[in-house]
Amino acid sequence: MSEATTTTMTMAAAINAGLRAAMERDPKVLLMGEDIGALGGVFRVTDGLHKDFGGDRVIDTPLAESGIVGTAIGLGMRGYRSVVEIQFEGFIFPAYNQITTQLAKMHYRSQGNITLPVVIRVPYAGGIGAIEHHSESPEALFAHTPGLRIFTPATPQDAYDGIQQAIASPDPVMFFEPKARYWDKGEVNTGAVASRLSDAAATLGISGARVAREGTDVTLVAYGPTVRLALQSAELAAQSGTSVEVIDLRSISPLDSDTVVKSAKKTGRVVVTHEAVTTYGVAAEVSARVTEQAFFHLHAPVLRVGGFHTPYPGAVFEHEYLPNIDRVLDAVDRVMTH
């Protein structure tokens, strides 16, 4: 697309449009997954693509996650860019071996002779009243593995740009899609990303954090599904006189320490919120980096607001289990009064 156009669309539609643009741009881009063909995926993210690109490029695979990722690796060795859909994050574990021992390490093992531009799309996180294995947040398990890049959009714009940059990136990218945000609408400029798809530009595009709201008293770090929560919390905090700066990490690996630390030095107070289990989670990494790099600017310990150390509970409890406005504002109050 040569001209920038702005459209309002949902995150699901933005990913769909991004996939379409990538497939039109490069015939080596393949979509692979369960029910992504005629059905269009259980979330309809691939809706219409099977019809327009055919079953050779939008491939309904056997029901075997390890097989999907493993064959995507082999196809990658022949120059194909597979975009794999894992139907729900809770079903990614049969592929965990392929992702962590093979996909993540092939470039290293081959001393750079093999690049695997595989994208793994993972609908994740909760809040949709689902049954077991359909609401979890396993991103830290992958962030702990060198060789993977991990991106999670919080807005339709980031979803649209990010999926195309993830596909263009020569490295493997895990693209975590906050499923509760699929139907949130936003403005999407569909023209700008086309000029940012070189290896370097695409990689850079999915590597950094953004300041989603400026503030001066507390830095509230979020990503994916909790960015909207953080913005809502900041709005409420502002009404009671606390200025909260919201940072949307966007990239989990690499983690953009500079943006977080810069904000931490300004505010001196940091709260991190994510849906994933708090213990050993992304917030722990953010906390460690802030402590290492902004220790003397801090007025309070870094606090974490996340999932409890329990399996994801039945949906009846999920609004207590997940970070919510009350729990985030409680943490904001605690760092303010420390």
Partner 1 sequence: MTCPDTHQSNGIGRSYAREAHVDTIGPLSEEGLVRLLDYKGARHDDVQFSPYAAHLTPDYLRSFWRDMTVLRAWDMEAMSLQRQGELGLWVQSYGQEAAQIGSGHALRAPDFVFPSYREHGVALTRGVDLPSILRIFRGLEHGSWVPDEHGFHLYTLVIGAHALHATGYAMGMDRDGLVASGNADNDGAVVCYFGDGATSQGDIAEAMTFASVNNAPVVFFCQNNQFAISESPTRQSNVPLADRAKGMGIPSVRVDGNDVVASHAVTQWALEHARSGNGPVFVEALTYRMGAHTTSDDPTRYRTREDEEYWAQRDPIARLTVYLEGIGELSDQFRDEVEAEAKALGVRTRETVRSWGKPQVMDMFEHVYSQPHASVDADRAWFDRFQKSFVDTEVQGS
Residues that are catalytic: 134
Within 13 A of 266's CA, how many CA atoms are on the CB side?
A: 19
Nearest distance from C-beta of residue 115 to partner 1, angstroms = 5
Nearest distance from C-beta of residue 280 to partner 1, angstroms = 16
Asked if 66 is part of the footprint of partner 1 (rule: CB under 8 A), the reply reads yes
CA distance 254 to 63: 31
> What is the pairing mode between strands 244-248 and 251-253?
unpaired
CA distance 278 to 301: 16
Within 13 A of 261's CA, how many CA atoms are on the CB side?
A: 14
CB neighbour list of residue 176: distance below 8 Å, 6 or more residues apart: 89, 122, 124, 125, 139, 150, 151, 152, 224, 252
Binding mask 81-110 for partner 1 (x = CB under 8 A): -------------x--xx--xx--x-xxxx
Q: Contacts with partner 1 in 12-51 (CB under 8 A)?
A: none
Place of tokens 């001393």: 111
- Selected binder of partner 1 within 7, 10, 115, 243 (CB under 8 A): 115
Residue 279 in contact with residue 311, Cβ under 8 Å? no
Q: Contacts with partner 1 in 263-322 (CB under 8 A)?
A: none
Q: Contacts with partner 1 in 179-218 (CB under 8 A)?
A: 199-200, 203, 207
Comparison of 1 and 64: residue with beta carbon closer to partner 1: 64
Comparison of 1 and 77: residue with beta carbon closer to partner 1: 77
Binding region for partner 1 (CB under 8 A) out of 39-47, 67-75, 223-231, 273-281: 67-75
Binding mask 144-183 for partner 1 (x = CB under 8 A): --xx-x-------------------xxx------------
Residues binding partner 1: what is the number (CB under 8 A)?
48
CA distance 12 to 43: 8
Nearest distance from C-beta of residue 298 to partner 1, angstroms = 20
- Burial call 125-147: b when 16+ CB within 10 Å, e when fewer: bbbeebeeebbbbbbbbbbebeb
Residue 39 in contact with residue 64, Cβ under 8 Å? no
CA distance 43 to 31: 15
Nearest distance from C-beta of residue 257 to partner 1, angstroms = 7
Which two three-digit tokens encode residue 248? 């949307």
Q: What spatial distance separates the first Cα and last Cα of the chain, rounded to whole Å? A: 52
Judged by the rule CB under 8 A, the positions of this chain that interact with partner 1 are: 56, 61-62, 64, 66-67, 69-80, 94, 97-98, 101-102, 105, 107-115, 146-147, 149, 169-171, 199-200, 203, 207, 253-257
